[in-house]
């Protein structure tokens, strides 16, 4: 069975709650508070595990909040590899305001990683990849904490390819630009806005999105580009051309973690032997299933199956 190793440099303790109304300067009483281990690669691993795939999360955690994060993670994934750091694992908060239907998100920047810790991270990942098999995946997802260089994901890609693994990436900002400019990526997951940012195209319609995605693939560094288009669906570009999958009409409770669930669903489909086009439809199902739940609950297998 293909194994998927996920890497999360800046995980978070996700706190979700709801209230009736937020009034500035007044106390806001929240209820139904939920705590989850989250962050890009952690969420991908949670989705894969819920769907029955073999996922191993590798992540940085430490400080006063690190042990809490590890306890929360073990509720959903019994195995994982923590790379200890001195800084506190961050907390991210989402508050759902019932009177307006708005979700207010407060995302902390996270710890500072020292040069010594950076070297330890690379060494740990290298040793983990030594235990992997040719054809397995390394999935790097999420933001980089302060201290890790923008080339960090590019370095991980080189490490994965040297061991015969495939490399998937989902990030933004300078880390994304550096990886696309200097690295080799087998699967790149993007939002529409991220695609426009790195290709410098005005994405006004689906045709312009398709053109930009094919341009990335045509550059030779990126094997497949997976683009989430929200309520418009998603598309996939590779050397064979384009595939499109429409969105599934659902009542959206929350979009927290939907992008991570989308990526996890696509990888799940590939590891089951689905064609890329079929895996794209599976990705839509997984992303939609995450949106059926409030807050940070992500994918429930029963809901996933009922979506077709």
Q: What is the pLDDT of residues 180-222, one digit of tens each?
A: 999 999 999 999 999 999 999 889 999 999 999 999 999 999 9
8 A C-beta contact, residue 123 and residue 152: no
8 A C-beta contact, residue 254 and residue 293: yes
Euclidean distance between CA atoms 185 and 217, whole angstroms: 10
Tell me which residue of 123, 190, 116, 100 sits closest to 148, measured CA to CA: 116
- Sorted by where each starts, the structural domains of the chain and their CATH numbers stand as 3-306 (3.40.1190.20)
Euclidean distance between CA atoms 165 and 157, whole angstroms: 9
8 A C-beta contact, residue 110 and residue 10: yes
Euclidean distance between CA atoms 196 and 41, whole angstroms: 23
- pLDDT, tens digit (0-9, with 9 covering 90-100), for 122-181: 999 999 999 999 999 999 999 999 999 999 999 999 999 999 999 999 999 999 999 999
Q: Dihedral of CA 58/298/260/281: which sign?
A: positive
Q: Residue range 109-116: average pLDDT?
A: 97
SS3 state at 41: helix
On the CB side of 220, CA atoms within 13 Å amount to 1
Catalytic residue among 14, 238, 260, 300: 260
Q: Return the HEC string of 142-160.
A: CCCCECCCCCHHHHHHHHH
Active site residue 260: yes
State the pTM of this model: 0.95
pLDDT for the residue 220: 92
Euclidean distance between CA atoms 298 and 261, whole angstroms: 7
Examine the pLDDT at 1 and tell me if it is beyond 70.
no
The Cα-based distances of 111 to 69, 140, 190, 217, 267 in angstroms read 14, 18, 25, 34, 29
């Amino acid at each position: 069975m293909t194994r998927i190793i996920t890497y999360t440099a800046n995980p978070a303790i996700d706190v979700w709650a709801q209230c009736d109304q937020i009034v500035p300067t007044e106390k806001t009483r929240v209820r139904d508070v939920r705590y989850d281990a989250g962050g890009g690669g952690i969420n991908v691993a949670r989705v894969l595990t819920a769907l029955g795939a073999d996922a191993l999360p590798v992540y940085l955690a430490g400080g006063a909040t690190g042990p809490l994060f590890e306890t929360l993670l073990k509720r959903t994934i019994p195995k994982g590899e923590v790379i200890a750091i001195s800084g506190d694992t961050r907390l991210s908060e989402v508050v759902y305001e019932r009177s307006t239907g708005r979700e207010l998100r407060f995302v902390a920047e996270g710890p500072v990683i020292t040069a010594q810790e950076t070297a330890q991270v690379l060494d740990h990942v290298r040793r983990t990849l030594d235990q992997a098999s040719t054809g397995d995946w390394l999935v790097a997802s999420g933001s980089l904490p302060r201290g890790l260089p923008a080339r960090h994901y590019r370095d991980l890609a080189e490490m994965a390819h040297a061991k015969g693994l495939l490399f998937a990436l989902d990030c933004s900002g300078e880390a994304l630009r550096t990886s696309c400019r200097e690295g080799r990526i087998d699967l790149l997951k993007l939002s529409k806005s991220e695609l426009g940012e790195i290709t410098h195209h005005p994405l006004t319609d689906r045709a312009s999105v398709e053109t930009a995605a094919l341009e990335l693939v045509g550059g030779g560094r990126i094997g497949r580009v997976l683009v989430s288009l929200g309520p418009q669906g998603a598309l996939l570009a590779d050397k064979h051309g384009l595939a499109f999958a429409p969105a599934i009409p659902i009542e959206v409770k929350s979009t927290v973690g939907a992008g991570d669930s989308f990526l996890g669903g696509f990888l799940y489909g590939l590891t089951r032997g689905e064609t890329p086009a079929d895996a794209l439809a599976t990705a839509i199902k997984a992303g939609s299933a995450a949106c059926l739940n409030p807050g940070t609950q992500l994918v429930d297998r029963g809901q996933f199956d009922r979506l077709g």
